[in-house]
Amino acid sequence: MDHGYQQHTNTNAHLEYQSGQGRLNILGFWVFLGAEVALFSTLFATYFVLMHRTANGPVSSELFQVPSVLIMTFLLLTSSFTCGLAIHEMRRSNLKGVIIWLVVTLLLGAGFLGFEIKEFIEYTHEGVTLSTSAYWSAFFVLTGTHGLHVTLGLGWIILIMIQLKQRGLTPTTTSKVFISSLYWHFLDVVWIFIFTGVYLIGMVMHHG
Amino acid sequence: MDNQKQNSSLVDNRFPWKHFVGYLLSVVLTLMALWITFSSGFSLSIIFAIIIVLAILQAVLQLLMFMHITERNSKIQTGTMLYAAFIAITIVAGSIWVMSAGHAAH
Amino acid sequence: MKWDQFFITDEPLIVGAGISILLTGLGIIFVLTYLKKWKWLWNEWLTTVDHKKIGIMYILFAILMLFRGGVDALMMRTQLAVPNAHFLDAQHYNEIFTTHGTIMILFMAMPFLIGLINVVIPLQIGARDVAYPYLNAVSFWTFFFGACLFNISFVIGGSPSAGWTSYMPLAGNELSPGPGQNYYLLGLQISGIGTLLTGINFLVTILKMRAKGMTLLRMPMFTWSTLITCVIIIFAFPILTVALALMTFDRLFGSHFFTLASGGMDMLWANLFWLWGHPEVYIVILPAFGMFSEIISTFSRKTLFGYKAMVYSMLVIAGLSFVVWVHHFFTMGSGAAVNSFFSITTMAIGIPTGVKIFNWLFTMYKGKISVTTPMLWSLGFIVNFVIGGVTGVMLAMGAADYQYHNTYFLISHFHYVLIAGTVFGCFAGLHFWYPKMVGYKLNERIGKWCFWIFTIGFNICFFPMYILGLDGMPRRIYTYNASDGWTELNIVATIGAFMMGIGFILLVYNVYYSFRYAKREQTGDAWDGRTLEWSTTSAIPPHYNFAKIPEVTGLDGFWRSKQEKETENVEYKPIHMPSYSGRPFVMSAFLFISGFGLVFEWWAIAILGAIGTLICMVLRSFDYDDGYYVNVEEIQKTESVYKEV
Ligand code: HEM
Ligand SMILES: [Cu+2]
């Protein structure tokens, strides 16, 4: 073969890995996730450094609520699971199954987002905003950045579902589905750390 | 490129065990973290240490069970994530240390 | 906002600059229209995804920025030449050192290196393009528009003036009101996207698209250094993204990350800035190291000495470069433990760098050395860079740094590494690969004059600054008194600075002179090279680079195949190439609009730009253009033209 790498095809693989460009895109996305780790780490670092700097304002344990955080956590965790099932169906060449599980994933993700927005609105009513104190600035920007990622993910998956409807399962569409699934799982990974580092610790921490 | 036809040996008709196990373990780890935080009675620093370890375990679980990190370019993918972990620890632990030591914190 | 605040009109120098920019712009528009070149510009350049053209655009832009940053530098040196000068006032001086530093590092050094990387790397690994050609165009245009956003600040709204480090609280709303600092934040933010994407693109390109037979340990050293640089870019630039975003929130949306009020921590900014900033230093030096390695090996007619040691030392640097950042603020007072730790890591990172110096020396040892212009710049690098490195180790000692910190000693140190390392590297690489880009060499005689004037000027300018620094002259002061006793050395430094200016003019003249008179290259191998980029059939490679992808049997692949001298009859196959697209340009223009809106807090414009950007991304998602095939007849036609000459 004297084609560029992008054109090397390999029929002996899952659809999403069959085209050269598909393989490159998946690998590139892993690398991009590495960059995302650095991005969120910086936000976490900021959050932890500013953790006690509430400037005599409200502290986290006064506002965080276990039930709503738990619901959010399980919504996102389950959506990560259903997203994985969508990939499983994709590898069984079952387009209908892919679409169904993706829709379930989207609904769960939207539910998560709804709870997050509700939480932010409640805090605002309590008078806690981005400008309340360094601590709350860090809180809103960390969780907000994650929320923004979820929002973009929802939009992105919808776009890909349209393409699935138009074109079916091809090497190109499946690699797109696979990449968006990586993104979605990654957002759950970030949330695990927010759940642990922000909410759990924030609920029991002593404020100095 | 007309490679649409599926290679039958690749079609995965088995029950998605990996995903189920991953999901169950994640749920268990989450509940454990919850229990340790609120009901274990450990001192704060022990609680922090344990739940952070649990979070890391859960992250690894996602990478292995859901994200197929061991497929294809597994070396590059795993290398990226390990290096990312090094960077994450450097950024987070390093910043906390530097910003809280000496009179930097005031 | 009033119009006279929008367009800066109270400063004659700035008005003059504004008018000359306007006239140049009109001139360019006139020439393009007169020569009917608009379509050509759009079809051949603005929509290109060809790595060679993208590289050339990066380099042109970098030279333009070198000019602007250089003018800034000369203005500072003019002001400081004599005590109590009135050429610039305090505010204007602050603005100029801020734009000088920011532009030189982010908009001159970075694009110069990334430009050379773009031109050379795919050729050097025997690939037809990068892994993601479309993304490469996005990289360039986001970078370009981000840099433009930063650059227009001085005529529209006013420049930032808090230093290239933008320390808080100086860069906050109270002490830096107005749009200047916002320009810094958004210009860097937008261009940073482009840099991150370049990092990902070239990492995957190098890992996955090498020619057959080129194992990792057969990669040329420039390819290796680019690979490591990409790793550092990928993990360092997101830190900058976050730091800039947090300060933007502080300034525009009232958050309290770095403010003095409500619990903010001003030094947290310094911490985040240098968490990115030190790796950034290695981002701008490693590719230069790679280029010197290629050049020294080529002109010593020898394989690089200690290839593996070079590779390992760079791997070590990739790790260590992330754990030394505190040496930029030892004086913050984090205590003995922190300062000692970071002193030690900083000294440790000097070791792999020292190893490399010896490797270059041993490469030359007993080699058949020919002193061409690129080689001259490389030799100049070794001598001058060592001076910068040694003073760097002095600065690495935390306790001693309390003496050197924020003096001209530091200014001199980092110019010795940035100029003798990065700028010399860019010049060396430019001369070396110039025939690959345009098909002829730069004139050697002018090149050598340029080297000597620039290098001597450089030492006259910066060596005295070490002494000034030890004498207590602080950086970032806009004037001093005669009684300080710094006058003589400052005059000397200014003379040196202007010599460097002359050197730069010679370089630009050389571009023109060679365009007119240089002998055109007949083959792809202008310097008797060793690596694959010299194996192309023509001086300027065809857009598909290689009609047939070469195979590599060892290090210095092309050198080997020349020794073997086999001329086989190649049979061509259709070549697949990516299609051009105007969308990266349009999308980045929307980002520019959005950034401009945020700078002035004109929300409607900001939102409009953001929507435009998103629409471009959605369109991309639905774009299933797979590129096209170059057919065999066309390849035969192209290749036979080269064979005949
Ligand atoms: C033409 C040669 C150059 C001359 C004469 C020159 C001169 C100067 C001077 C006079 C200052 C300000 C000192 C002060 O008041 O604190 C300065 C600062 C600086 N220069 Fe240069 N420079 C040159 C080239 C470069 C290059 C090539 C780079 C980077 C690649 C660079 C990076 C910087 C940086 C980062 C600063 C610090 C700005 C700040 O304080 O915020 N310079 N330079
Ligand atoms: Cu440093």
On whether both B18 and B49 belong to a single domain, the answer is: yes
pLDDT at A206: 64
- The answer to whether residue A66 neighbours chain C at the CB level (below 8 Å) is no
Note whether C65 and C85 are within 8 A (CB): no
pLDDT at C645 over 50: no
> What residues flank ion ligand 2 with Cβ within 5 A?
C 278
Q: Which ligand is nearest to the CA of C65?
A: 1
| Among B22, B81, B32, B84, CA closest to B54 | B32
Question: Mean pLDDT for each 10-residue chunk of chain B (106 residues)?
Answer: 42 78 94 92 90 95 88 89 96 94 66
Among C168-177, C489-498, C630-639, the minimum mean pLDDT is found in C630-639
pLDDT at C401: 80
B82 with B64, same domain: the answer is no
Nearest to C337 among B87, B101, B103 (CB): B101
> C2 and C96: one domain?
no
> Do B7 and B44 sit in the same domain of this protein?
yes
Q: How far apart are CA C63 and CA C108, in angstroms?
A: 7
- For residue A8, what pLDDT band results from cuts at 50, 70 and 90? low
- C328 Cα to the center of ligand 2, angstroms: 6
B30 & B49 share domain: yes
Q: DSSP class of residue C191?
A: H
Tell me whether the omega of the peptide bond preceding residue C474 falls within 30 degrees of 0, making it cis: no
Phi, psi of C54 (to 5 degrees): -60, -40
User: Which subunits sit against B, judged by 3+ Cβ pairs under 8 A?
Assistant: A, C
Q: Is B104 close to C334, i.e. CB distance below 8 A? A: yes
Distance C200 CA to ligand 2 centre (A): 23
**Would you say the CB of residue C160 lies under 6 angstroms from ligand 1?**
no
Q: Positive or negative CA dihedral for A167, A172, A178, A180? A: negative
Which of C415, C418, C494 best tests ligand 1's pocket when mutated (most atoms within 8 Å of CB)? Answer: C415
The reply to whether ligand 1 has any atom less than 6 angstroms from the CB of C76 is yes
Residue C83 CA neighbour count, 13 Å, CB half? 11
For position C286, which CATH number holds? 1.20.210.10
Identify the domain containing residue B101 by its residue range.
Answer: 74-106
Nearest CA to ligand 1 atom 38: C101
The pLDDT of residue C612 is 97
The residue among A29, A41, A179, A182 with the most chain B CBs within 10 A of its CB, best to mutate, is A41
Span from the CA of C58 to the centroid of ligand 1 (angstroms): 21
- Helix boundaries (H) for C518-625: 557-564, 583-599, 603-621
Structure tokens of C181? 């600092």
Model pLDDT, residue A2: 40
A44 and B55 within 8 Å at the Cβ level: the answer is no
CB contact under 8 A, C131 and A159: no
pLDDT of residue C566: 58
Question: Does residue C481 sit in the same domain as residue C406?
Answer: yes
Q: Which of A42, A81, A89 would you mutate first to test chain B, the one with the most B CBs within 10 A?
A: A81
When pLDDT is averaged across residues C530-559 and rounded to a whole number, the result is: 87
Residues C167 and C301 grouped into a single domain: yes
pLDDT at B3: 38
* Residues 206 through 225 of chain C touching chain A, CB cutoff 8 Å: 207-209
Instruction: Domain A2-205: state its class.
Output: mainly alpha
ipTM of the complex: 0.94
Q: Could you tell me the residue range of the domain that residue C449 belongs to?
A: 36-581+625-641
Residues from chain B that touch C210, judged by Cβ atoms under 8 A, are none
Q: In terms of Cα–Cα distance, which of B27, A31, A47 is closest to C255?
A: A47
Of all residues in chain B, the one with the smallest CA distance to C325 is B94
Set of chain A residues whose Cβ sits within 8 Å of the Cβ of B33: 195-196, 200
Residue C165 CA: nearest ligand 1 atom is 41
What does the pLDDT look like over C116-173, one tens digit per residue? Answer: 999 999 999 999 999 999 999 999 999 999 999 999 998 888 899 999 999 999 999 9
From C271, C323, C338, residue closest to B102, measured CB to CB = C338
How do residues A81-139 score in pLDDT, each as one tens digit?
999 999 999 998 899 999 999 999 999 999 999 999 999 999 999 999 999 999 999 99
Atom of ligand 1 nearest to the CA of C458: 2
Q: Does C348 touch chain B (CB under 8 A)?
A: no
Are B4 and B56 members of one domain? yes
Answer yes or no: do B20 and B60 share one domain: yes
**Same structural domain, B57 and B105:** no
The answer, for A31 touching chain C at a CB cutoff of 8 Å, is yes
Q: In chain B, which residues have their Cβ closer than 8 Å to the Cβ of A171?
A: 1, 3-4
Beta bridge partners of C440: C520
Contact with chain A for residue B52, Cβ under 8 A: yes
- Sorted by where each begins, the domain ranges of chain A are 2-205
Q: pLDDT band for position C235 (50/70/90)?
A: very high
- Identify the three-state secondary structure at position C549: coil
Number of domains in chain C: 2
Long-range contacts of C170-177 (CB under 8 A, 24+ apart): C171/C247, C171/C269, C172/C250, C172/C251, C172/C258, C172/C259, C172/C260, C173/C250, C173/C251
**Is the same domain home to B64 and B90?**
no
In a domain, C598, yes or no: no
C-alpha C414 to ligand 2 mean position (Å)? 10
Own/partner contacts of B45-48, CB < 8 Å, gap of 24 or more, are B47/A204, B48/A201
Q: Smallest Cα–Cα separation from C205: which of C265, C124, C262, C263?
A: C124
How many residues comprise chain C? Answer: 645
- Give the ligand whose atoms come closest to the C-alpha of residue C424: 1
Q: How does pLDDT run across C392-436, given as a tens digit for each residue? A: 888 877 778 888 888 999 999 999 999 999 999 999 999 999 999
Q: What is the mean pLDDT of residues C592-615?
A: 96
- Nearest Cα neighbor of A99 from A10, A3, A164 is A164
C-beta of residue A86 within 8 angstroms of C-beta of residue A105 = yes
Predicted TM-score (pTM) of this structure: 0.94
Sequence-distant (≥ 6) Cβ neighbours of residue C172 within 8 angstroms: C250, C251, C258, C259, C260
> Closest Cα to atom 35, ligand 1: which residue?
C101
Q: Which atom of ligand 1 lies at the shortest distance from residue C493's CA?
A: 5
- Note whether B10 and B53 are same-domain residues: yes
Among the bound ligands, name the one nearest to the CA of residue C324.
Answer: 2
DSSP-based three-state secondary structure for C567:
coil
Query: How far is the centre of ligand 2, averaged over its atoms, from the C-alpha of A42 (Å)?
Result: 18
The structural domain count of chain B equals 2
Length in residues, chain A: 208
A15-68 pLDDT, tens per residue?
Answer: 888 888 899 999 999 999 999 999 999 999 999 999 999 988 888 888 888 899
Residue whose CA lies nearest to ligand 1 atom number 6 = C73
Q: Please determine, for residue C548, whether its predicted confidence score (pLDDT) is greater than 90.
A: no
Give per-residue pLDDT as tens, C63-119: 999 999 999 999 999 999 999 998 999 999 999 999 999 999 999 999 999 999 999
Number of H helices, E strands in chain C: 22, 2
pLDDT for A146-203, tens place per residue?
999 999 999 999 999 999 999 999 999 999 999 999 999 999 999 999 999 999 999 8
Q: What is the mean pLDDT of chain C?
A: 91
Q: Which of A6-10, C74-78, C459-463 has the least mean pLDDT?
A: A6-10
Look at residue A7 in the predicted model and tell me its pLDDT: 61
CA distance linking residue C574 with residue C324, whole number of Å: 50
Whether ligand 1 lies within 6 angstroms of the CB of C417 is answered as no
If asked whether residues B46 and B63 sit together in one domain, one would say yes
Domain identity same for C184 and C100: yes
Same domain, B34 and B78: no
Ligand 2: centre distance to CA A49 (Å): 22
pLDDT score at B104:
59
Residues C11 and C61 both lie in one domain: no
Same domain, C8 and C134: no
Judge if C31 and C43 occupy the same domain.
no
Q: Quick one: B22 and B59 in the same domain?
A: yes
C-alpha distances in angstroms, C598 versus C62, C153, C457? 26, 13, 42
In a domain? residue C491:
yes
Q: Per-residue pLDDT averaged across C288-299, rounded?
A: 95
Instruction: For residue C432, count other CB atoms closer than 10 A to its CB.
Output: 28
**What pLDDT does residue B13 have?**
67
Interface test mutation site (partner A, options B91, B97, B98, max chain A beta carbons within 10 A) = B91
Asked if residue C304 has its Cβ within 6 Å of ligand 1, the reply is no
In a domain, C91, yes or no: yes
How many of the other CB atoms lie within 10 Å of CB of C156?
16
- Residue C345 identity (one-letter amino acid): T
Contact between C61 and C191 (Cβ < 8 Å):
no
Claim to verify: residue C12 and residue C78 sit in the same structural domain? no
Q: What is the 3-state secondary structure (H, E, C) of C70-91?
A: HHHHHHHHHHHCCCCCCCCCHH
**pLDDT value of position C642:** 65
C100 lines ligand 1 (CB under 6 A): yes
With contact defined as beta carbons under 8 Å apart, do C198 and C139 qualify?
A: yes
> Between A and B, how many residue pairs show a Cβ–Cβ distance under 8 A?
154
